[in-house]
Amino acid sequence: MNERELLTILCEPGLEDRVIDLLRKAGASGFSVSRAQGDPVQGFQLEVVEGANARIETVVTAETASRIVDELARRYFAHRSLVVWQSTVRVWRPDRFR
């Protein structure tokens, strides 16, 4: 069994395309996007934008995960509504996840 990193990124709708572009440039071989709604943590206010938040998930190597999270932090953590969860997962077809 092979381990990879699952990144779950929750962002405001206006960031979705930029986050996806960042994933591709960092070397992620794929991702999934779904819509998410919830009760934000106090002080974490989303912009008023038509539509739900984007939940973007990708499974990547530890090195790729570090590149992605570092770049997300640099670009968005200080001033945009974006959070990231990282989990180690086991994958059955490791060649599919870079």
- The model carries a pTM of 0.83
Q: At 11, which amino acid appears?
A: C
Which CATH number do you get for residue 81? Answer: 3.30.70.120
The position carrying tokens 């490791």 is 94
For the chain, how many structural domains are there in total? Answer: 1
The position carrying tokens 């991702």 is 31
pLDDT given for residue 52 in this prediction: 81
Write the pLDDT tens digit of every residue in 47-78.
Answer: 544 568 899 999 999 999 999 999 999 999 99
Write the pLDDT tens digit of every residue in 4-19.
Answer: 999 999 998 889 999 9
Helix (H) or strand (E) holding 87: strand 82-91
Q: Which residue segment(s) compose the domain that 71 sits in?
A: 2-96
| Nearest-angstrom CA–CA distance, 73 and 71 | 5
Per-residue confidence band for 95, with pLDDT thresholds at 50, 70 and 90: confident
